[in-house]
Amino acid sequence: MKKILVVDPIQELAIKELKKEFEVVYHLSPSYDEFKDLVKDVDVIILRSGVKINKEIINAGKRLKIIARAGVGVDNIDIVTAREKNIKVFNIPNISFSSVAELTFGLILSLARKICLADSQLKKNIWKKSELYGNELKGKTIGIIGLGKIGSNVAEIAKGFCMNIIACVKDDSFERRKNLIEIGIEIVSLQELLKRADIITLHVPLNEETKNLITKKELMLMKNNSYLINMSRGGVVNEQDLYGALKNKTITGAASDVFVKEKEENPLFNLENFVATPHIGAMSYESQEQIAKILVKNIINGLNGKKIENRIC
């Protein structure tokens, strides 16, 4: 019987279905040494964003045939080594975009209306309404960096709040600008977006081009009363520079669902003008159920030599 190792939380539906055909080992967040030992006799590894698979882990997997990312992105997988070893790698994008976009606005509202601060104070029986003035979203300009599935969905939600929408995209063209302006989205440069937007949201993958995309230099271009929301990856924003900008009130507030080092203390957590969530953008029942179904189908197909959707290598 083929063996599957699950190292990050996935929907119970997927576990139940996989157990019908395979031996499933469920070991969340293994230490490095544990991981190297566990992978020796498995055919498939299932992970999300919490665990990294490097060259040594892949080389230790003598029977390894598939690495399955139950979500968007593959920045935590050594794709080069996987390709050299002829190991199939796939992810499951374009499923959780609604979930991530909705959480984006949850964080925006939490900042703009100081919901988290109000909740924290009230639970300590502190009533300071005069300190809890917030901002309406109507009429404000939202700047979206990255206009893929998630960014586009954020734009649609923004329309419902009667916001002005500007965006910065990688694949810019006259035709694309023309099509987007017809639906109320203006394409601008990153520098212009930073200067004009009241709220900036990040929806880009982490790669060499986007690493430290937002540093002190970019933060200094933003309005003093603006907010920054990071829904991409931790390394896209320089966390030390962001801490300084929030501490010095260079910008009014920021929120992030992602961090350079997850499951660790972070100085940002001590700031009242910073809202944090533990990488839960895709964690809705609806999206995880869809991801579970695709995950199971792809693994069964992959192990049987059939086509895998969204195969990376």
222 found inside a domain = yes
310 found inside a domain = no
309 found inside a domain = no
Place of tokens 């698979």: 53
> Do 107 and 182 share a structural domain?
yes
Residue of 262, 272, 286, 309 marked catalytic: 262
> Do 270 and 196 share a structural domain?
yes
Q: How many Å apart are CA 118 and CA 301, to the nearest integer?
A: 50
Query: What pTM was computed for the model?
Result: 0.91
pLDDT at residue 73 in the model? 86
Residue 262 falls in the annotated catalytic set = yes
> Do 262 and 113 share a structural domain?
yes
The count of structural domains within the chain is: 2
* Of 82, 74, 26, 30, residue with least CA distance to 56: 82
Residue 27 falls in the annotated catalytic set = no
Q: Where are any strands of DSSP class E within 122-223?
A: 141-145, 164-168, 185-187, 199-202
Domain that holds residue 269: 97-276
pLDDT at residue 95 in the model? 95
Q: How many Å apart are CA 231 and CA 233, to the nearest integer?
A: 7
Alpha carbon 130 to its chain centroid, in Å, reads 34
> Do 75 and 135 share a structural domain?
no
Per-residue pLDDT of the chain (313 residues; tens, 9 = 90+): 999 999 999 999 999 999 999 999 999 999 999 999 999 999 999 999 889 999 999 999 999 999 999 998 899 999 999 999 999 999 999 899 999 999 999 999 999 999 999 999 999 999 999 999 999 999 999 999 999 999 999 999 999 999 999 999 998 999 999 999 999 999 999 999 999 999 999 999 999 999 999 999 999 999 999 999 999 999 999 999 999 999 999 999 999 999 999 989 999 999 999 999 999 999 999 999 999 999 999 999 999 999 999 999 9
Residue of 196, 218, 233, 239 marked catalytic: 233
> Do 206 and 230 share a structural domain?
yes
> Do 173 and 75 share a structural domain?
no
CATH number where 27 lies: 3.40.50.720
312 found inside a domain = no
Residue 264 falls in the annotated catalytic set = no
> Do 133 and 71 share a structural domain?
no
pLDDT at residue 171 in the model? 87
> Do 164 and 28 share a structural domain?
no
> Do 268 and 191 share a structural domain?
yes
> Do 118 and 22 share a structural domain?
no
pLDDT at residue 146 in the model? 98
CB hemisphere CA count around 263 (13 angstroms) = 4
